[in-house]
C-alpha cells in the first residue's frame, strides 16, 4: 500500500520562457486534507491541471497512487472540480449526475439520490442548472466529483460562491469524507482562514515554486504566540530562564532562536533577567501568526532573498 496518494518530482510547466511551475516536489499523504496555498497566478490551478491531465508537464514526474505510468487509468480514481463548475446548463442537477454515472459505468442508480442528499440539492427538483446560483453550482460540481466514491478529491477553490452556511457544510462534509471513506483531498483556496480550519497539511506555492510543505501540527506550532529570543549565548540563556525565571515551556530552534510559550505579557522581566546576568540580547519580541500572516511572511521572506 502506497503511503502517498500523489507525488510530483521536479514537476515543471513552461510556457515559452515563462515557468508557471518550477521544480515542484509535492507529496500528499493518504487520508490527509492537503491545503494548497498561493496568491493569484502562483500556479495552483496549473498544478491541478497537470495532476488531472488537462495540461501536459514540461519536465518532471507525476506519481498517482504510486504509479508513474498509465496515469489515465489512475485518474479514474480521482474526483475533481477545477476553476468554475463545469456542468451541462440545459440539464437538471440529477441529469448532470446521471450523465456522469453512465459515463463512469457506475451501476447503482441510487447513488444519484444519495449524492443529491449529501450535497444538499435534493430539493433542486426540475430546476435547470442554468437557473442555479453560483453556490448551488459549486455544490453540484462537488457532487459530480464525489460520484463513484473517488479515493482522491481535487477541489480548486470549492468555496467560491458559497454562503457562510454552505462553507460550514462543505467543511463538515469534507471532514466526514476523510473520516468515513478515507478520501484524500487536495484543496486550493484563497480563503486561508477557511483552509486553516480544514487542512491537515499545507503546501505554499509562490510564483510557480513550492516554498514549503508543512503539517497542520507543525504550522500551528510555528504560528503559536511566543516570545522570540536571540542571544549571544543559548546555553546560559536557557539556564537562566529555567533556574532564575522559572520558565520551562520553551523550544530552541536550529537557527539559534528560542521560543518561549509562557510569560508572554512579561517580556520586560525576561529582558532584565538576561541583561543583569551579562547575556547580550540580539532580539526579543512577541510573535505569533495566523495562516495569512504566516503565508505573507513566507513569501515576503523569499522576496528579500
Partner 1 sequence: MFNQIRAEFYKLFHTKALYLTFALILAVFGIFSIGGQQQFVASSSSLDETWKIGETVGFLARAYSDTAHPLIEEIIRTATSYTVFFWLIVLIFSVIFFSREYTDSTIKIAIASGQSRIKFFVAKYIVISITSIFLYFSFIMIAFIIECAKFNIPIQLFPMLKIAGLNCMIMGAFIGITLMLCVIFKHTAIVVGAMSLFTFSGPLIYMMTWDNMSTQSWRVLTYLKINPMYYWMNTCSYNMINNLEINILIYFVGTVIITFLVSAFILRKQEIR
Stretch that binds partner 1, among 96-104, 164-172, 219-227, 297-305 (CB under 8 A): 96-104
Residue among 156 and 222 whose Cβ is closer to partner 1: 156
Residue among 59 and 296 whose Cβ is closer to partner 1: 59
Beta-carbon count within 10 A of 222 CB: 18
User: Binding of partner 1 at residue 157 (CB under 8 A)?
Assistant: no
Q: Which three cell numbers stand for residue 282?
A: 540580539
Q: Which three cell numbers stand for residue 220?
A: 500551528
- Number of residues assigned to the chain: 305
| Interface positions, 117-146, toward partner 1 (CB under 8 A) | 144
Whole-number minimum distance, CB 210 to partner 1, in Å?
21
User: Binding of partner 1 at residue 105 (CB under 8 A)?
Assistant: yes
Residue 205-244 contact track with partner 1, rule CB under 8 A, x = bound: ----------------------------------------
Whole-number minimum distance, CB 209 to partner 1, in Å?
21
Interacting residue with partner 1 among 23, 25, 27, 52 (CB under 8 A):
52
Whole-number minimum distance, CB 139 to partner 1, in Å?
15
3-class secondary structure, 245: coil
* Continuous H helices in 182-251: 192-196, 216-223, 234-243
Interacting residue with partner 1 among 14, 30, 98, 273 (CB under 8 A):
98
CA–CA gap between residue 231 and residue 257 (Å, rounded): 8
Interacting residue with partner 1 among 72, 235, 243, 246 (CB under 8 A):
72
Strand partners, 24: 11
Long-range contacts of 266-274 (CB under 8 A, 24+ apart): 267/227, 269/245, 270/227, 270/229, 270/241, 270/245, 273/240, 273/241, 273/244, 273/245, 274/231, 274/237, 274/240
Residue among 102 and 280 whose Cβ is closer to partner 1: 102
CA distances from 263 to 216, 243, 267, 272 (A): 25, 15, 7, 13
Q: Which three cell numbers stand for residue 42?
A: 502562483
Residue among 152 and 295 whose Cβ is closer to partner 1: 152
CA distances from 78 to 2, 16, 17, 24 (A): 16, 30, 31, 21
User: Binding of partner 1 at residue 269 (CB under 8 A)?
Assistant: no
Residue among 76 and 248 whose Cβ is closer to partner 1: 76
Give contact residues for partner 1 (rule: CB under 8 A).
Answer: 49, 52-56, 72-80, 82-84, 86-91, 95, 98-100, 102-105, 144, 150, 154
Amino acid at each position: 500500500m502506497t503511503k502517498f496518494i500523489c507525488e510530483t518530482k521536479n514537476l515543471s510547466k513552461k510556457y515559452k520562457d515563462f515557468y508557471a511551475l518550477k521544480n515542484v516536489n509535492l507529496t500528499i499523504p493518504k487520508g490527509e486534507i492537503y491545503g494548497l496555498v498561493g496568491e493569484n497566478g502562483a500556479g495552483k490551478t496549473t498544478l491541478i491541471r497537470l495532476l488531472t491531465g488537462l495540461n501536459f508537464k514540461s519536465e518532471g514526474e507525476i506519481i498517482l497512487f504510486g504509479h508513474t505510468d498509465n496515469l489515465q487509468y489512475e485518474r479514474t480514481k480521482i474526483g475533481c472540480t477545477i476553476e468554475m463548475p463545469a456542468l451541462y446548463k440545459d440539464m437538471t442537477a440529477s441529469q448532470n449526475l446521471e450523465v456522469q454515472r453512465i459515463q463512469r459505468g457506475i451501476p447503482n442508480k441510487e447513488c444519484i439520490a444519495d449524492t443529491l442528499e449529501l450535497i444538499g440539492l435534493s430539493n433542486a427538483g426540475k430546476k435547470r442548472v442554468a437557473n442555479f446560483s453560483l453556490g448551488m453550482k459549486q455544490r453540484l460540481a462537488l457532487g459530480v466529483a464525489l460520484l463513484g466514491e473517488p479515493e482522491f478529491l481535487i477541489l480548486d477553490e470549492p468555496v467560491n460562491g458559497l454562503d457562510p452556511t454552505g462553507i460550514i457544510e462543505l467543511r463538515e462534509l469534507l471532514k466526514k469524507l476523510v473520516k468515513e471513506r478515507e478520501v484524500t483531498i487536495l484543496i486550493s483556496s484563497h480563503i486561508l482562514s477557511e483552509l486553516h480550519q480544514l487542512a491537515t497539511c499545507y503546501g505554499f506555492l509562490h510564483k510557480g515554486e513550492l516554498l514549503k510543505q508543512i503539517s497542520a501540527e507543525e504550522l500551528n506550532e510555528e504560528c503559536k504566540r511566543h516570545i522570540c529570543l536571540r542571544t549571544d549565548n543559548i546555553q546560559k540563556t536557557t539556564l537562566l530562564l529555567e533556574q532564575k525565571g522559572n520558565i520551562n515551556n520553551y523550544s530552541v530552534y536550529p537557527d539559534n532562536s528560542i521560543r518561549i510559550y509562557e510569560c508572554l505579557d512579561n517580556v520586560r522581566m525576561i529582558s532584565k533577567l538576561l541583561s543583569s546576568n551579562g547575556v547580550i540580547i540580539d532580539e526579543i519580541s512577541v510573535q505569533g501568526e495566523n495562516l495569512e500572516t504566516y503565508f505573507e511572511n513566507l513569501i515576503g521572506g523569499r522576496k528579500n532573498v
